[in-house]
Amino acid sequence: MDRLSRVPIFVAVARHGSFAEAARRLGMTGSAVSKQVQRLEADLGVRLFHRTTRQLSLTDEGSFLFERSAPLVEGIEEVGEMLAGRKAKPEGSLRISAPVALAQRLLKEPLSSFVGRYPDVNLHVELSDRFVDLVAEGFDLAVRIGHLEDSSLVARRLGDVDMVLVGAPILLAEYGVPTDPQALSRVPFIHYASERSNARLQFMKDGEPIPVVTEARLSTNNDQMMVSFAKAGYGLIVLPRFMVEAEIADGSLREVLAEYQVYPPRKLYAVFPHGRHLPLKTRVLIDFLVQEFAV
């Protein structure tokens, strides 16, 4: 195997962040993949990866090679798919990650429809409220609310997420219904995934941002626990409307400061690893979700 033949193997390892995962995708053994990368390093006279027992990461030279070779390798893969006729029919395993409540409230029906429409795609949906590492953990796609922080990922907007401030009638009876954001500093809050007692919120009205420092009685990294605490009257919470619309409808939670917008507005994104070429199965799912949430 010559130097050029080893470059796609290097790209696979860099793309998936794992010799084992690259070997699985390439149909090779892990030792064979490792040996070819080592020979490429010897050919080039540089070290391409930092290797530890827990993590694999690119060196500066490895990043340089990956940035310039990955588009070429992806282009060759795309041509190969076209010649094999795979462009016309999405197929294969597709792993996606999504937060628990988001999947239960918004993704259940769209994903069920997708499975019915594309029976040759083997869909695996893993629900977790943590931010999974797509590359290291072998996910093709994640659906997330918020903004993109990891520059190695690409996001496509699926839609807007309406955020609301809500509290239980018992809490509002005790502290009074706030009539402006400044009044919130006198009412206890339940914060999401923060151990700090205070956190900054920002509201918007008539184009003017209004910052507020809120004090937390409780905090948790689970939205359903936030709802449970809020219904018990322990504090106000800020969550996407779809997560509390049933509680608003039955009166166990009441919307507060509805005339103000929680700022910045949140977006719903499909997030996937950076790269010019996406497998057809992934592109089809992203397009499908865009259409579903546009309705």
CA distance 267 to 44: 44
This prediction has a pTM of 0.64
- Please report the pLDDT score of residue 276 as a whole number: 53
Lowest mean pLDDT of 50-64, 149-163, 213-227, 279-293, name the range. Answer: 149-163
Of the candidates 240, 263, 265, the residue with the CA atom closest to the CA atom of residue 166: 240
Q: Which comes out higher in pLDDT, residue 82 or 191?
A: 191
CATH number for the region 3-86 comes to: 1.10.10.10
Q: Which comes out higher in pLDDT, residue 206 or 95?
A: 95
Q: Which comes out higher in pLDDT, residue 56 or 53?
A: 56
- Please report the pLDDT score of residue 111 as a whole number: 94
At 138, which amino acid appears?
A: G
Helix ranges (H only) for 157-222 are 169-175
- Please report the pLDDT score of residue 237 as a whole number: 95
Token couple for 235: 């504090």
Q: What is the pLDDT of residues 139-180, one digit of tens each?
A: 999 999 876 665 567 888 898 888 999 999 999 999 999 999
At 255, which amino acid appears?
A: E
The share of the chain scoring above pLDDT 90, in percent, equals: 49
Domain ranges of the chain: 3-86, 87-159+267-294, 163-265
Q: Is the dihedral of CA 76, 78, 83, 84 positive or negative?
A: positive
CATH number for the region 87-159+267-294 comes to: 3.40.190.10
Assigned fold of 163-265: D-Maltodextrin-Binding Protein; domain 2 (3.40.190)
Same topology, domains 3-86 and 87-159+267-294? Answer is: no
CA distance 261 to 110: 28
| pLDDT above 70: residue 82 | no
Q: Which comes out higher in pLDDT, residue 147 or 138?
A: 138
| pLDDT above 70: residue 138 | yes
